[in-house]
A and B are shown apart, each in its own frame.
Chain A
Amino acid sequence: MTEADIHQALTELFRELFGDDDIVLTPQTTAADIEGWDSFNHLNLIVATETKFGIRLNSAEIEALHSVGDLAAIIKAKAGKRQ
């Protein structure tokens, strides 16, 4: 997957999860920038990402996950590869 593909897919996922079609993501976007990105939805975001990209985030990755850029980097490293 290219970075553009990942960005596009993550944008769709965020818009669906947070119910807001105006969400625009940058690598620096964090929970503080998005209404509804609380601890409950943080877990939903992880599970939705795992389902959508067919990957699994390990505990250390989840621990270090703070921004959209962090998430995109994990997807780039894992998606489309056999785990």
Chain B
Amino acid sequence: MQDGRDLYWLPTAPDFSVRLKQIDHDRGSWDELVGLANTRIDFVRTLRLDRSLRALFAAPPQGLATAPVRLAVLGSSTVGHLLPAIRIGALRRGIWLTTYEPDYGQYLQELSEPGSGLRRFSPNAVLFVMDAAHLLRGVHPTQDPAAAQDETAAHLVHCWNLARKEFRCPILQQTVLPVFPALLGGNEHRLPGSRHAMVNRLNSRLRGLADDEGVDLLAIDDQAATKGLAAWHDRALWHRAKQEVTPAQAPIYGDLVARLIAARLGRSFKCLVLDLDNTIWGGTIGDDGLDGIVLGPGSALGESFSDVQTFARDLAGRGIILAVCSKNDPAIARAAFQQHPEMVLRLSDIACFVANWNDKPANLRDIARQLNIGLDSMVFLDDNPFERDLVRSTLPMVAVPEIGDDPALYPATLAAAGYFESLGLTAEDRARGDQYQANAERISSAAGATDLPGYLRGLEMRLLWRRFDPAGLPRIVQLINKTNQFNLTTRRYTEADVRAVMDDPHGFGLQFRLTDRFGDNGIIAIVIAHRIERAELMLDAWLMSCRVLGRHVENATLAVIAEQAAAVGATRLLGCYMPTARNRMVERHYEKLGFSPVDHESVDQVGRRLDVLELRHYTPTDIFMTIAEGQ
């Protein structure tokens, strides 16, 4: 099952060819292609699917949640055999991606020359794919390796800077495959100039360099370490066609690239939903009782389930929301969490706990609603093939991995599937579980409160605002790039873009933190305003985390914007709404806040709508919180 060359967590599709032919014949839909991309396809099927994809969607379809991706793959050897799988990896995540590759080995020329094909392509993401031989070309066993390594590092940084300066877009760098045989053996590091040892050193140096330079790594060296170099590299194919990664591995390679791109676009999964019986413990709690379930030391099976729980807890610790969805008596299910001595997971780790006898798709919808997240950000872990199949056919946007029949392998399978790919960690990520749980408590209080204003006042909310600052930068960039629903323009900003906003004397960027009596929600909203005319500010970005919806944070945010706008000499605000498949909830955002449509054309050709607010007519209303400048 896990030979490492295979998307083994996806369900097999025995009818793949029939379905694909039907799609070709009927000029089928994007969603049907996405469905096929989410089956366990090998590299031959990946090539076929890519042919259909390109024939049917030479241009991106309307209404996708994420902007089209134009990825330049800049390689030192053959990369063409990897491109179909990269496009299909993106398709798997509902992302339309087109690729560009320069002529063989011409990456540096194309980066440097004005008017090159690369410049004309104008990528919005760049992936550097340098093979080991290319990066180690100056190294000989008799030479001082340090100098060669410095030169290689400088070359990489030079390439990254060229790409960044020209395209101002995310940059990805493939790490180096350990393709060179050892000369000494286990203590290879003692041989100066060993190419084998140098690859290891270069890979560890790449980690630091990439962090310093804001580059994301495509860590195929890690993959080769877990799955074996032979799964990745076939020396004969290298000699024959300069393919450093074998075509058989392309589906995994493409998926890895697509994960990084999806993570940058805020499309990684956010929530792990756990079944209970035979998923996080052995046996059925309702039948076997507290003493009868298998969990913890004493048996290999019990330890395996502890391992599953530990993995889930550790995911929660780095910002993944945990939920429970189980067919069980709720009191009995909860009692296991409270009373079983070997439980690793606690009730406090679970942001939303649903145990009842309803069908699981209905419960998953309910969990998504309670947590205010999209179904397409949920991963559902269940040992029962029937439940998995039911959820997949009813809610195709929920990721449901095939996990096999051995709990010992569940964590590795979840990790291999890469659902939760993440490019860094902010303080908010660490506290997220608590925030969502406090939110669930707030929803319970709201259900009990008869008057909403009274309830909102009782929350003791404080909205703390600050101009953009370097300390807030990681969270600002993260929130801008992952917020899809409450996002007026869905315009993505890179770190460099955000820095440019900080330096803009005529506009401003604002970050908002919300605290209440249940806790600190962290930075939950971002606003960016640019001056377009002397007294007019355009709200280029206004986005908010959905977990603070329904609390009139928007009204308080506008009060801060109005004050800041006046401070830079503006008298009018222009609000812009750009519709996507996912931001319908803010369609009437500006109207609700008292903006009026601009007099001439209220909707332009691309569906963009502009609304205007004259500040002299504005009075703050419906503010249920204190507002202050501060951390």
Contacts and interface: CB of A to CB of B under 8 A. Distances in A.
Interface string B227-248: 0000000101101110100111
A47 B47 contact: no
Contacts of B17: 16
A1 to B, nearest CB: 20
Given A40-B81, A43-B81, A16 B239 contact: no
B45 A16 contact: yes
A48 interface: yes
A82 to B, nearest CB: 17
Interface string A35-46: 000011001100
Contacts of B48: 16-17, 19
A24 interface: no
A40 B44 CA distance: 12
Contacts of A48: 43-44
Given A16-B17, A16-B44, A16-B45, A47 B51 contact: no
B188 interface: no
Nearest to A51: B248
A17 B44 contact: yes
A43 B51 contact: no
A39 B81 CA distance: 11
Contacts of A47: 43, 234, 237, 246-248
A30 B464 CA distance: 72
A51 B3 CA distance: 12
B45 to A, nearest CB: 7
Interface in A44-71: 44, 47-48, 50-51, 58-59, 62
B81 to A, nearest CB: 7
B80 interface: yes
B43 A43 contact: no
Contacts of A39: 241
Contacts of B43: 44, 47-48
A24 B48 CA distance: 19
A19 B239 contact: no
Nearest to B239: A59
Contacts of B248: 47, 50-51
Q: Which residue, of B17, B44, B47, B239, has the highest number of chain A Cβ atoms within 10 A?
A: B44
A13 B17 CA distance: 12
Q: Which residue, of B17, B47, B80, B239, has the highest number of chain A Cβ atoms within 10 A?
A: B47
Interface in A67-83: none
A42 to B, nearest CB: 9
B236 A44 contact: no
Q: Which residue, of A16, A47, A51, has the highest number of chain B Cβ atoms within 10 A?
A: A47
A50 to B, nearest CB: 8
A58 B235 CA distance: 11
B239 A43 contact: no
Contacts of B5: 51
Nearest to B241: A43
B587 interface: no
B246 to A, nearest CB: 6
A44 B241 CA distance: 11
Given A19-B51, A48-B43, A43 B236 contact: no
B42 interface: yes
B243 A40 contact: no
A43 B241 CA distance: 8
Contacts of A58: 236
A40 B80 contact: yes
A16 B51 CA distance: 12
Given A40-B80, A47-B248, A59 B240 contact: yes
13 contacts: A16-B17, A16-B44, A17-B44, A43-B81, A43-B241, A43-B247, A44-B43, A44-B81, A48-B43, A51-B5, A59-B236, A62-B236, A62-B240
Interface of B: 5, 17, 42-45, 47-48, 51, 80-81, 234, 236-237, 239-241, 243, 246-248
Given A13-B44, A40-B81, A58-B236, 6 more contacts: A16-B17, A16-B45, A43-B81, A43-B241, A43-B243, A59-B239
A-B pairs with lowest CB-CB distance, top 8: A47-B247, A47-B248, A17-B44, A48-B44, A59-B236, A19-B48, A16-B44, A43-B241
